């Protein structure tokens, strides 16, 4: 009886260092969510992750939304009904659950964003430009350098009594500063807390720039797991930032919500069977002009499915 | 040294971009072979290797072109800048083009045999700068025939730029409402016209080609019910100089969304529009006291013209371009003065630009505008 069948919607956020998946039902309730590091193998990880989702959900997918920096590639692999940018998906998820929020702060693996909301839509947004200072990848690097598990970063920093001053504008200068502070004997917790403070300041000065940070403020993205970063924003913005339950999967949730809005009778989702197929990538260069584009062929079961990466569009398919 | 069948001297213009169309006319009329330099990322990469000390993207583009021209064994290399070296302002291009480039080229390519000329292409002094350079390459500027030729050249260039502007505007309108499968076709029709007129200098043929282009564009099937998004494109990078420096912004926008690009000025306006001269004094007085080089006032004026007439405005600028940076500050002031702040985004480009990052920003900007429109309707 197809008319009584439950409908599910899949949201995928193919981020720079992690993959987030969400399944929601018609009532927009989150039934399944996962956050996983991609470890340089995003497609392999996505396949593994999808294979772990209940077959009942996968068999009744009526909409797939994909977002994140790898969204176009992921679309080729699993099929999608909505392929959309992270700003829109973040805002959609926040507005669904926290309609009172005026500002979204999002810090992910390689980018950070500020989104201003007004009357239920995005009013303005800004992203980090040419520098990754203050993003999750930098915190990861520093944790690894100090031989600290990234999961413990926040807890250790919260033990600080006297956070030190760290130059947060540039990752190179910040690292130099941290090494110097270590050399002069400042404790690891004070250095980590100082780093969080400087990254919060950097966010406001370098990412938000002229955008007003109106309250209430919501803080999401992988870095929102770091309690010391939350604390730094609370102090610096003089507010209690909201941390949503699904803070690390919000774009995936937004993508699923947008896919569900389409009310489709049939999804472009390639189905659970596709997960089992042999997927290969072939990377080659076009030398027809000086751009020397790096092109990626996606080959599924020996058949070329698509080519991406051509700047002039000649080879894209 | 490479020579064509007529043993003509080979000339090329660094940082020529869309000005190449004009340079080709001049070269052909004075018996020179024009070497066209299509912009490519490879040129910028080479520029970075040879001249790592440069950070302004405009200057890197110029060096990239110079290296490409040297590789093609040109006899005469022209460096352009919209400024004069003694002028007040933060634009470094005149200084670099007039002083630094010839010195660096001498040091780094001591064995290469070419002549470097510096040409100020700002409208007020372009003609005199051109005459001075003609003298340097042995063309008698006192010969009345040459003056007649110059007059004709000017007319042809003006006509070409004007036809390009008109057809481009039409192509933008058509493409915005064209069915998805025909969006590319609209651009190809225009591009064919642009390529064709590069080598043709006959007024009648040019007008005929333009007519064909218009006719072909009007025949592209369109869906008049499609809701289009109007986006104003300002900043000299994509409007006056290049089309495809590192990211094909206009085509990306037009093919992904039903976007009509509105560029308030083009290379035609930069050179020939009388409005531009008037604009300078009007907007300078209010937002800029001095001319800071480049197309600062053009960007400011463009922004003011776009407010209220488009859904959103994008300022596409070169990374490190100080006049564009100053224009951004003036725009910020303008936006704050408005009752309803316009949707505005700055995109900064250089050879480090990450295409995926730019795409995300552009997509997010368009999606925001679409949702704002939908929300306003509700």
Bridge-based pairing of strands B229-234 and B312-318 is parallel
Quick one: three-class SS letters along chain B? CCCCCCCCCEEEEECCHHHHHHHHHHHHHCCCEECCCCCCHHHHHHHHHHCCCCCCHHHHHHHHHHHHHHHCCCCEEEEEECCCCCCCCCCCHHHHHHHHHHHHHHHHCCCCCCEEEEEECCCCCHHHHHHHHHHHCCCCCCCHHHHHHHHHHHHHHHHHHHHHHHHHHHHHHHHHHECHHHHHHHHHHHHHHHHHHCCCCCHHHHHHHHHHHHHHHHCCCECCCCCCEEEEEECHHHHHHCCCCCCCHHHHHHHHCCEEEECCCCHHHHHHCHHHHHHHHHHHHHHCCCCCCCCHHHHHHHHHHHCCCCCEEEEEEECCCHHHHHHHHHHHHHHHHCCCCCCEEEEEECCCCCHHHHHHHHHHHHHHHHHHHHHHHC
Task: Check: CB of residue A278 under 8 Å from CB of residue A300.
Answer: yes
Q: Which residue has the higher pLDDT, A137 or B326?
A: B326
Residue B5 lies in a domain: no
Residue B51: per-residue pLDDT? 83
Please give the model's pTM, rounded to 2 decimal places.
0.85
Beta bridge partners of B33: B10
Q: Say whether A88 and B355 touch across the interface (CB within 8 A).
A: no
Length of chain A: 317
Q: Count, in order, helices (H) and strands (E) of chain A.
A: 11, 12
Question: DSSP letter at A219?
Answer: E
Per-residue pLDDT of chain A (317 residues; tens, 9 = 90+): 445 578 999 999 988 778 999 999 999 999 999 998 887 778 888 888 888 899 999 999 999 999 988 888 888 888 899 999 999 999 999 999 999 999 999 998 777 899 999 888 888 888 876 565 667 888 888 888 888 888 899 999 999 999 988 876 667 777 788 888 888 989 999 999 998 998 898 888 888 877 889 999 999 998 999 999 999 999 999 999 999 999 999 999 999 999 999 989 899 998 766 666 777 878 888 888 777 788 888 787 788 877 877 777 677 76
Mean pLDDT of B108-122: 86
**H or E element: which one contains A233?**
helix A227-237
φ, ψ at B253 (rounded to 5°): -60, -45
- From chain B, the residues in CB contact with A130 under 8 A are 319, 348, 350, 352
Task: Check: CB of residue A90 under 8 Å from CB of residue A76.
Answer: no
**Of A24, A60, A53, nearest in space to A36 by CA:** A53
Residue A223: per-residue pLDDT? 92
Average pLDDT over chain B, rounded to an integer: 86
Residue B126 shares a structural domain with residue B17? yes
Q: Say whether B42 and A111 touch across the interface (CB within 8 A).
A: no
Cα nearest neighbour of A113 on chain B? B361
Point out the residue among B68, B355, B368 whose CB comes nearest to the CB of A122: B368
Task: Check: CB of residue A33 under 8 Å from CB of residue A93.
Answer: no
Residue B202 shares a structural domain with residue B244? no
Residue B95 shares a structural domain with residue B208? no
Residue A210: per-residue pLDDT? 72
Average pLDDT over chain A, rounded to an integer: 86
Q: Say whether B42 and A291 touch across the interface (CB within 8 A).
A: yes
Residue B273 shares a structural domain with residue B369? yes
Q: Comparing A65-79, B57-71, B351-365, which segment has the lowest mean pLDDT?
A: B351-365
Q: Say whether B367 and A88 touch across the interface (CB within 8 A).
A: yes
Residue B305 lies in a domain: yes
Residue B218 shares a structural domain with residue B240? no
Whether B85 has a pLDDT exceeding 90, the answer reads: no
Point out the residue among A125, A291, A292 whose CB comes nearest to the CB of B364: A125
Whether B364 has a pLDDT exceeding 50, the answer reads: yes
Retrieve residue B271's tokens.
């050179």
Question: How many percent of chain B have pLDDT more than 90?
Answer: 35
CB-based contact, A314 to chain B, within 8 Å:
no
Residue B113 shares a structural domain with residue B16? yes
Distance CA B163, CA B198 (A): 12
Please report which confidence band the pLDDT of residue B166 belongs to, taking 50, 70 and 90 as the band edges. Answer: very high
- Walk me through the domains of chain A, giving residue ranges and CATH numbers: 2-88+252-276 (3.30.420.40), 100-243 (3.30.420.40), 279-308 (no CATH)
Number of domains within chain B: 3
In the block, residue with structure tokens 């080229």: B105
Residue B295 shares a structural domain with residue B187? no
Residue B82 shares a structural domain with residue B205? no
Whether B2 has a pLDDT exceeding 60, the answer reads: no
Q: Say whether B319 and A313 touch across the interface (CB within 8 A).
A: no
CB-based contact, A247 to chain B, within 8 Å:
no
Q: Say whether A127 and B368 touch across the interface (CB within 8 A).
A: no
CATH of the domain at B358: 3.40.50.11900
Task: Check: CB of residue B105 under 8 Å from CB of residue B78.
Answer: no
Whether B162 has a pLDDT exceeding 70, the answer reads: yes
CB-based contact, A106 to chain B, within 8 Å:
no
Mean pLDDT of B47-72: 86
Residue A45: per-residue pLDDT? 85
Tell me the pLDDT tens digit for each residue of A91-124: 999 999 999 999 999 998 777 899 999 888 888 8
Residue B11: per-residue pLDDT? 92
By a Cβ cutoff of 8 Å, what residues of chain B touch chain A?
Answer: 38, 40-43, 68, 184, 244, 247-248, 251, 319, 332, 343, 348, 350, 352, 355-357, 360-361, 363-364, 367-368, 371-372, 375
Residue B4 lies in a domain: no
Tell me the pLDDT tens digit for each residue of B198-214: 999 999 999 999 999 99
Residue A39: per-residue pLDDT? 79
Distance CA B324, CA A130 (A): 17
Beta bridge partners of A297: A282, A307
Residue B167: per-residue pLDDT? 97
Retrieve residue B254's tokens.
């037009």
- From chain A, the residues in CB contact with B360 under 8 A are 69, 85-87, 127
Residue B220 shares a structural domain with residue B234? no
Q: Say whether B319 and A130 touch across the interface (CB within 8 A).
A: yes
Residue B2 lies in a domain: no
Q: Say whether A125 and B343 touch across the interface (CB within 8 A).
A: no
Whether B87 has a pLDDT exceeding 70, the answer reads: no
Residue A2: per-residue pLDDT? 45
Task: Check: CB of residue B362 under 8 Å from CB of residue B249.
Answer: yes
- From chain B, the residues in CB contact with A286 under 8 A are none
Q: Is B240 left (phi over 0), alpha (psi -120 to 50) or beta?
A: alpha
Tell me the pLDDT tens digit for each residue of B130-155: 788 888 888 888 888 888 888 899 89
Residue B200 lies in a domain: yes
Residue B176 shares a structural domain with residue B278? no
Cα nearest neighbour of B360 on chain A? A85
Residue B115 shares a structural domain with residue B179? no
Write the CB contacts of B207 (distance below 8 Å, at least 6 apart in sequence): B159, B163
Contacts 24+ apart (CB under 8 A), A147-150: A148/A188, A148/A192
Residue B14 shares a structural domain with residue B105? yes
Retrieve residue B30's tokens.
């004075």
Whether B351 has a pLDDT exceeding 80, the answer reads: no
CB-based contact, A6 to chain B, within 8 Å:
no
Residue B121 lies in a domain: yes
Write the CB contacts of B169 (distance below 8 Å, at least 6 apart in sequence): none
* Structural domain of B339: 227-378
């Amino acid at each position: 009886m197809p008319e009584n069948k439950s409908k599910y919607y899949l949201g995928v956020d193919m981020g720079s260092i992690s993959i987030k998946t969400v399944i929601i039902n018609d009532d927009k309730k989150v039934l399944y969510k996962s956050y996983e590091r991609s470890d340089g193998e995003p497609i392999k990880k996505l396949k593994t992750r999808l294979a772990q989702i209940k077959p009942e959900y996968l068999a009744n997918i009526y909409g797939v939304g994909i977002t994140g920096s790898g969204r176009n590639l992921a679309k080729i692999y699993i099929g999608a009904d909505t392929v959309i940018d992270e700003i829109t998906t973040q805002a959609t998820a926040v507005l669904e659950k926290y309609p009172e929020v005026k500002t979204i702060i999002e810090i992910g693996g390689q980018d950070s964003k500020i989104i201003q909301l007004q009357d239920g839509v995005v009013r303005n947004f800004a992203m980090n430009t040419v520098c990754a200072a203050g993003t999750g990848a930098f915190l990861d690097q520093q944790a690894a350098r100090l031989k600290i598990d990234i999961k413990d970063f926040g807890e250790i920093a919260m033990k600080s009594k006297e956070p030190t001053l760290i130059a947060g504008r540039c990752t190179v200068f910040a690292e130099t500063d941290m090494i110097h502070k270590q050399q002069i004997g400042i404790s690891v917790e004070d250095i980590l807390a100082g780093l969080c403070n400087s990254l919060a300041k950097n966010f406001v000065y370098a990412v938000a720039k002229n955008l007003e940070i109106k309250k209430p403020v919501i803080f999401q993205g992988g870095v929102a797991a770091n309690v010391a970063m939350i604390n730094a924003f609370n102090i610096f913005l003089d507010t209690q930032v909201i941390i949503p339950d699904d803070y690390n999967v919000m774009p995936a949730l937004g993508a699923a919500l947008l896919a569900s809005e389409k009310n489709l009778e049939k999804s472009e989702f390639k189905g659970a069977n596709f997960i089992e197929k042999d997927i290969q990538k072939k990377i080659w260069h076009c030398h027809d002009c000086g751009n020397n584009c790096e092109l990626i062929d996606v080959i599924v079961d020996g058949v070329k499915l698509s080519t991406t990466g051509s700047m002039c569009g000649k080879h894209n398919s | 040294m490479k020579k064509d069948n007529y043993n003509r001297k080979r000339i090329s213009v660094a940082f020529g971009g869309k000005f190449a169309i004009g340079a080709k006319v001049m070269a052909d009329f004075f018996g020179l072979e024009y070497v066209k330099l299509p912009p490519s990322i490879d040129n910028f990469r080479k520029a970075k290797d040879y001249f790592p000390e440069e950070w302004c993207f405009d200057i890197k583009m110029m060096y990239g072109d110079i290296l490409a021209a040297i590789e093609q064994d040109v006899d005469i290399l022209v460096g352009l800048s919209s400024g004069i070296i003694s002028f007040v302002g933060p634009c470094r291009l005149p200084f670099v083009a007039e002083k630094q480039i010839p010195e660096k080229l001498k040091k780094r390519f001591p064995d290469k045999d070419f002549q470097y000329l510096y040409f100020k292409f700002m409208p007020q002094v372009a003609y005199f700068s051109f005459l001075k350079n003609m003298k340097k390459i042995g063309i008698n500027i006192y010969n009345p025939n040459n003056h007649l030729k110059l007059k004709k050249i000017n007319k042809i260039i003006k006509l070409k730029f004007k036809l390009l502007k008109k057809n481009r505007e039409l192509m933008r309108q058509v493409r915005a409402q064209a069915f998805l499968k025909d969006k590319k076709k609209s651009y190809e029709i225009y591009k064919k016209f642009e390529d064709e007129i590069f080598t043709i200098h006959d007024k009648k043929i040019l007008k005929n080609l333009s007519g064909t282009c218009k006719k072909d564009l009007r025949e592209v099937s369109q869906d008049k019910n499609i809701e289009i998004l109007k986006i104003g494109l300002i900043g000299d990078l994509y409007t006056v100089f290049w089309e495809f420096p590192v990211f094909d912004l206009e085509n990306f926008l037009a093919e992904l969304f039903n976007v009509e690009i509105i560029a308030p000025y083009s290379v035609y306006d930069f050179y020939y529009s009388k409005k531009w001269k008037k604009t300078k004094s009007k907007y300078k007085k209010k937002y800029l006291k001095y001319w800071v080089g480049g197309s600062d006032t053009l960007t400011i004026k463009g922004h003011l013209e776009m407010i209220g007439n488009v859904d959103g405005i994008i300022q596409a600028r070169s990374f490190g371009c100080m006049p564009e940076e100053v224009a951004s500050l003036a725009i910020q002031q303008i936006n704050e003065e408005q009752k309803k702040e316009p949707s505005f985004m700055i995109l900064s480009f250089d050879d480090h630009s990450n295409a995926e990052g730019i795409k995300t920003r552009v997509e997010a900007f368009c999606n925001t505008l679409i949702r704002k429109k939908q929300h306003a309707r509700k």
